[in-house]
Amino acid sequence: MSNEPVRGPGSPTLEDVARVAGVSRATVSRVVNGVRNVDPEIQETVRQAVAVTGYVPNNAARSLVTRRVGSVALVVSGAGEEEDEVGEDGFSTRQIFGDPFFGRVVGGIVGYLRPRGIHPVLMLADTADARSQVLAFLRQGNADGALLVSTHAEDPLPRLLTEAGQPAVLFARPARPLAISYVDCAHHDGGSLAADHLVARGCDRVATIAGPLDVPASQDRLAGFQNAMARHGRPYVPVVEGNFTLGSGVTAMERLLVEHPDLDGVFAANDLMAQGAVLVLREHGHRVPDDVAVVGFDDSSAALACRPQLTTVRQPVENMAAEMASLLLTTLDQPDRRVTSVVFEPTLVVRQSA
């Protein structure tokens, strides 16, 4: 084993390490990747050679032959439309990345992927153009698969991905049945939890601010809420549709207050809208929860930022996101496994607002 520093023009290659260690390229590869048995003594020699040369494997060369790059795409689909354009490229993305719910998703995914040495590539797919960009990206082998967080129902991307045969896992069940893995939450049960809690609290005149009704999750939360209320003998519940933003919660609550000034309970389909509702209620002089109880959904950071802090239906988002990543990696390792989906149960987190 010679001891000269070994400087190629660029960074050291397997060949360099092999030369220093006095073995073949194949052996170094075996040691680096830990495949097959290699004599412990030789292993040690190779490791030292790696250290001496400062060798780092070139991932491009590796994936060229393995057909795996060791990274996944994190696709946020159907974010904002054309609105909110600023500057040459448009910053319509601000909204989605600022969403505390989305923050939890990313956190969960990164938490799972990172210990495994995998890092997500952030992509937006809000236009047809962007969608084909995502597809091309995957087909070029820039990522092994996709984690897809869709924000609206008619997103064509899940279908496109399955058609292209690209491994993917969705956050939330697709609007129409599709042979694709997904992770979801039992939104229906979540709606029930909210209803049960409001009724148990003694609320009698209850309304709800639903999410966009083309999204399955919104439908389920609403249905679960309505069914449970019906079970409690209140078959008719005023409903106003929002779009999951704080602003829409404000608007919805204002409308509810006009139409039903004697409300004593509100279930909002997410925390941001619940926060908006609370703001309006307080501005109109209603105490929360004494006059009107408010229940949110998600248990996002908005629930804590709100005053009073929100009682909310908690989705185990981080766990769901981690499961999503886990499912994808499994799919990658066993390509012919059939699609699997996992549904998590929500829980009620009681704080001050109800």
Among its own copies, DNA, none, residue 32 binds (CB under 5-8 Å by kind): DNA
| 36 near its own copies (CB under 8 A) | no
The β-bridge partners of 239 are: 208
Q: How many CA atoms lie within 13 A of 30 on its CB side?
A: 15
Q: What is the per-residue burial (b if ≥16 Cβ within 10 Å, else e) of 224-243?
A: bbbebbeeeebeebebbbbb
Minimum CB distance to its own copies smaller for 119 or for 231: 119
Among DNA, its own copies, none, residue 296 binds (CB under 5-8 Å by kind): none
Q: In this structure, what token pair is assigned to residue 328?
A: 């994808």
Among its own copies, DNA, none, residue 222 binds (CB under 5-8 Å by kind): none
Q: Are 268 and 277 in contact (CB under 8 A)?
A: yes
| 10 near its own copies (CB under 8 A) | yes
Q: What are phi and psi of 170, to 5 degrees?
A: -95, 150
Q: Which of 245, 298, 254 is nearest to 273 (CA)?
A: 245
- Residue 245 contacts by C-beta under 8 Å, 6 or more apart in sequence? 95, 272, 273, 276
Among its own copies, DNA, none, residue 74 binds (CB under 5-8 Å by kind): its own copies
Contact with its own copies (CB under 8 A) among 20, 31, 50, 108: 108
Q: Are 318 and 141 in contact (CB under 8 A)?
A: no
Can you tell me the distance from the alpha carbon of 341 to that of 172, in angstroms, rounded to the nearest whole number?
10
Measured from the CB of residue 39, what is the shortest distance to its own copies in angstroms?
27
Binding flags for its own copies, 295-334, as an x/- string (CB under 8 A)? -----xxx-xx-x----------xx--x------------
Minimum CB distance to DNA smaller for 59 or for 340: 59
- Look up residue 304 and give its amino acid: L
Question: C-alpha distances in angstroms, 90 versus 85, 102, 125, 293?
Answer: 4, 20, 14, 39
Measured from the CB of residue 212, what is the shortest distance to DNA in angstroms?
41
Contact positions with its own copies (CB under 8 A) in 132-161: 133, 136-137, 139-142
DSSP-derived letter for residue 104 is H
Does 289 sit behind a cis peptide bond, omega within 30 degrees of 0 on the bond before it? yes
Contact positions with its own copies (CB under 8 A) in 217-256: 246
How many Cβ atoms from other residues are within 10 Å of residue 148's Cβ? 28
| 130 near its own copies (CB under 8 A) | yes
| 17 near its own copies (CB under 8 A) | no
Measured from the CB of residue 94, what is the shortest distance to its own copies in angstroms?
4
| 121 near its own copies (CB under 8 A) | yes
Minimum CB distance to its own copies smaller for 155 or for 298: 298
Measured from the CB of residue 141, what is the shortest distance to DNA in angstroms?
9
Greatest pairwise CA separation for the chain in angstroms: 87
- Residue 193 contacts by C-beta under 8 Å, 6 or more apart in sequence? 313, 346, 347, 348
The residues binding DNA (CB under 7 A) are 8, 10, 13-15, 23-27, 29-30, 32-33, 35-39, 42, 55, 57-58, 61-62, 64-66
| 110 near its own copies (CB under 8 A) | yes
Contact with its own copies (CB under 8 A) among 112, 171, 182, 225: 112
Measured from the CB of residue 28, what is the shortest distance to DNA in angstroms?
8
Sign of CA dihedral 182, 228, 295, 249: positive
Measured from the CB of residue 59, what is the shortest distance to its own copies in angstroms?
4
| 266 near its own copies (CB under 8 A) | no
- Which residues would be at the binding site for its own copies (CB under 8 A)? 10-11, 56-61, 63-64, 67, 69, 71, 73-74, 86-87, 89-100, 102-104, 106-108, 110-112, 114-115, 117, 119-124, 130, 133, 136-137, 139-142, 246, 275, 279, 282-283, 300-302, 304-305, 307, 318-319, 322
